[in-house]
Amino acid sequence: MFADRARIYVRSGKGGDGHVSFRREKYVPNGGPDGGDGGKGGDVIFEVDEGLNTLIDFRHIRKYKAQDGEEGGKKNCRGKNGNDIIIKVPAGTVIKEAESDKVITDMSGDNKRVVLLKGGRGGNGNQHYATATMQAPKYAQPGVPAQELELILELKVIADVGLVGFPNVGKSTFLSRVTNAKPKIANYHFTTLNPNLGVVDLEGTKGFVIADIPGLIEGASEGIGLGHEFLRHIERTKVIIHVVDAAGTEGRDPIEDIYAINKELEVYNADISKRPQVIAANKIDMIYDDGSGNDPVSALKAEFEPQGIKVFPISAISQKGLNELLYEVYNMLQEINEEPTIFEQEYFPEEATNAYHNLPYTVEYNEEEEEYVVEGPRIEKMLGYTNLESEKGFTFFQNFLKDNGILEELEALGIQEGDTVRMYGLCFDYYK
């Protein structure tokens, strides 16, 4: 079974909480704080596995969780970091945020490994919060919460050339004759339910990759039949080969078929419909000459070659005309000479995770402890995702206090230089 789309849940590891403890040794009656830091949570990592060509495994396993970091321990013992979880996907997999359907990353080209969600940072133990005025801090920093996302995985086949055409026009036979692919072939509609890939090895060329896009029907762009499931595979191709039944063995008009498919491509994605095309007029060995002089190949040429679309009469069965068509496609590829389509990032998990600006907070004066206390979900989130040990992080922290009006509220309460401010496990003296 081929699977090209899956929905999964991923979660990074939570950071381990910092520990609260004090030295308890013989002859040391009033030992200082020795609570260790929590360990970092594991990351969620996606990697390309060249041996995979389907997303079938994600039909059976839908939840992926990295390991949480361990809590800190006594005697300044740091908690163990949580293990990362590495998720293997085939090349060409586009990872999207499920609700918005926006692209997070495209596992194509040089993009072989991505840290999609970072594990939470471990919290500081109480050893970090001892000051001259607070020698026995009874609090520690909690670990940063885990990040989680619902994802859509879409496999978009990476190929230079896409074969399109109505069902049963001979695309699979064509692919089997010109490449090393071995698609299943039978005489009924929607025979091909999988995008088949094959490599064309032309003498004197580097060759190229062809994808047989399963048979389309009218309304495919609107999701009728298996339209969307198939059309997504042509998004990366540079050249399109229209395969039509020139003999009309099923009573279809090849000219109408080409216009119908082009319409579906345009509705689905206008950029795709503008890509270079050639027409493979297949089954010419089955064309019946009734003496009327009505040649379907000539009719195709008269209709499309003035539009700049070349028509090549071929027979996939006898292999007549195949080389001429393939060399033309190769030359078209050389003129294009561009990298396959890579889908740009539209959704940034870090920004979504740090969306704490609308959360509440409080600024109060604790008379008993003689300190100003700033707490609330907004503060907790900010501290969790800010590395105060770095210059950039500390600058962000200062701007956060200013931009959120916290400094103004502290001054309104009468704070003076040298007064203590506590934000959960973080304590500092106030100076302008």
Looking up residue 392, the CATH number of its domain turns out to be 3.30.300.350
* 188 confidence band (pLDDT: 50, 70, 90): very low
Cα separation, 277 vs 242, whole angstroms: 7
Mean pLDDT value of segment 224-243: 68
Same domain, 262 and 304: yes
Q: What is the pLDDT of residues 235-244, one digit of tens each?
A: 778 899 999 8
Residue 346 lies in a domain: no
Same domain, 169 and 145: no
* 261 confidence band (pLDDT: 50, 70, 90): confident
Q: How many C-beta atoms surround the C-beta of residue 269 within 10 A?
A: 15
**What beta strand segments (E) does 28-70 contain?**
44-48, 63-65
Looking up residue 63, the CATH number of its domain turns out to be 2.70.210.12
Q: What is the mean pLDDT of the chain?
A: 81
Residue 146 lies in a domain: yes
The top-scoring range by mean pLDDT among 63-72, 378-387, 409-418 is 63-72
For residue 28, the model assigns a pLDDT of: 58
Same domain, 238 and 107: no
Cα separation, 38 vs 72, whole angstroms: 4
Q: Which residues form the domain of 329?
A: 161-336
* 357 confidence band (pLDDT: 50, 70, 90): low
Report the largest interatomic distance among the alpha carbons of the chain, rounded to a whole angstrom.
Answer: 115
CA-closest candidate to residue 37, choices 85, 75, 11: 75
Number of domains observed in the structure of the chain: 3
For residue 189, the model assigns a pLDDT of: 40
Residue 345 lies in a domain: no
Same domain, 76 and 6: yes
